[in-house]
Each structure stands twice: as C-alpha cells, then as structure tokens.
Structure 1
C-alpha cells in the first residue's frame, strides 16, 4: 500500500539507518543512526539522528519524532521541519541515555520539545 505521497507504508530499518537528514532550508543536519521501536505497541518511538562530531567523537544524538521525518526523493534523504537553531537547542543524549527507562525519557522530552502529537495517546 502506498501513502498520499506515493511512498510505501513499510520500510526496512536497514534502509533507513544511515540516511541523511536535512532541514527545510536544505541544510544537511545529520544522519539516522538508528530507530527506537516500542515492542508493546509495534510503533516507532523515534529516529536517533546523529549531529556533528567527527568519526563518532563529539557527536550528539537527538530523538526526533518519527512522524516529523518526511522522505524527499530529490535529496535521497529525510527532511525535518526544524531549523538549525531548534535542533541545536533540542535535548541531546548519548546512545546509552537514549535507551534508559526503555527510551521513555528521551521520547517524552523529544515529543514535548518538538510539540509533536504523541502517537501513544
């Protein structure tokens, strides 16, 4: 089944991981490092997007609500509706912190910060 934009409803995680992420101004802001899955509801909690750093040193990880990512075929990457300042000020974590408390702390902070509609309610 396809979405309104012609994309399919399903995608393998291996195709998402490593995909570049841009803001609406076309600036490259990072790459999808991983996705956090909620096993009990079969939903995607958030994408883990790596910002900055070099070869993994100094990189920050952000939990971006999955529904905020829109795939752009021309860029061959995802676009988020946030500018660089919003992203710089967003909560950032280590990979270990993203998974603490089953990821709920990072999920809640992310959805609150980006004012995204909670999928779990």
Structure 2
C-alpha cells in the first residue's frame, strides 16, 4: 500500500509539528541544551504557545522538561536547530517538571510564572 503525502514535512519557512519534535535546542554560544519533546498549541488561536524541551538526564532517565514560550526560539538553519538566549544555569532554575508530573498548561497562574521567568509576555495577551 502506498503511503499518501498530505503535506510536505517542511518548506522554506514552515515545518510539520511532528518534525519539530526531536529538533535540537542550542544557546547563542552554540552549546546544545536539549531537544524539543513536543509543542503545545493554543486551540482557539492556533498559535504555538510552548516548545517543551527535554533537558538533562541520560537515556531518558532523570530528564526534565522545560516549557519554553515559543517566541523565545529562533530557528538557525546552519545549526539545524532552534536557538534560545539562555545558558544551562538559567535552565536549572527555570520552571520544569519530570515525566511523573503533568503541569496544568491551562492554568494562567502557572503560565504567568513561566513567562515571568523568561521575561516574555504571555501568548494569551
């Protein structure tokens, strides 16, 4: 059976959501910080609200997840990944959770804490 292609996986400026998952995240110095685990999309607006980045751990053990407001990320073609203006120390104190936790992404107080930490306006404003 032939697999049908619904849409390209990427174009010059667009990328399919499943292709974002696993993409590397670097800081401005070129240090690898982690990779995108998933993206969270605001249903009413259709905007990507967060990139959930995996950070630390080894083979998935001890891995932490950091919700990064989408507007913080810039795609860098040369590196083949996203770049953020953060260092590893900033991530260690950032809002995070592990695989056993499920944060309430719809809780605006929680979202405000994430956005305040990174000093970016909330996506819902």
State TM-score, norm by structure 1: 0.84
- Partner SS for 2:26: strand
Among 66, 69, 79, the alignment partner of 1:65 is: 69
1:54-109 Cα deviation digits (max 9, x unpaired)? 121100000001010001111111000111211111011135423x2536455322
CA deviation after TM superposition for structure 1 residue 120, in Å = 1.3
Aligned residues: 113
Pairing 1:1-121 to 2, within 5 Å after superposition: 8=13, 10-95=14-99, 96-98=101-103, 100=104, 102=106, 104=108, 106-121=110-125
**Residues 1:105 and 1:97: Cα distance change in structure 2 (over 3 Å):** farther
Moved over 4 A (4+): 103-106
Query: Max radius of gyration: which structure?
Result: 2
Using the alignment, how far apart are the partners of 1:48 and 1:106 within structure 2? 15
Structure 1: gaps (5+ residues):
1-6
Structure 2: gaps (5+ residues):
1-11
Using the alignment, how far apart are the partners of 1:73 and 1:104 within structure 2? 33
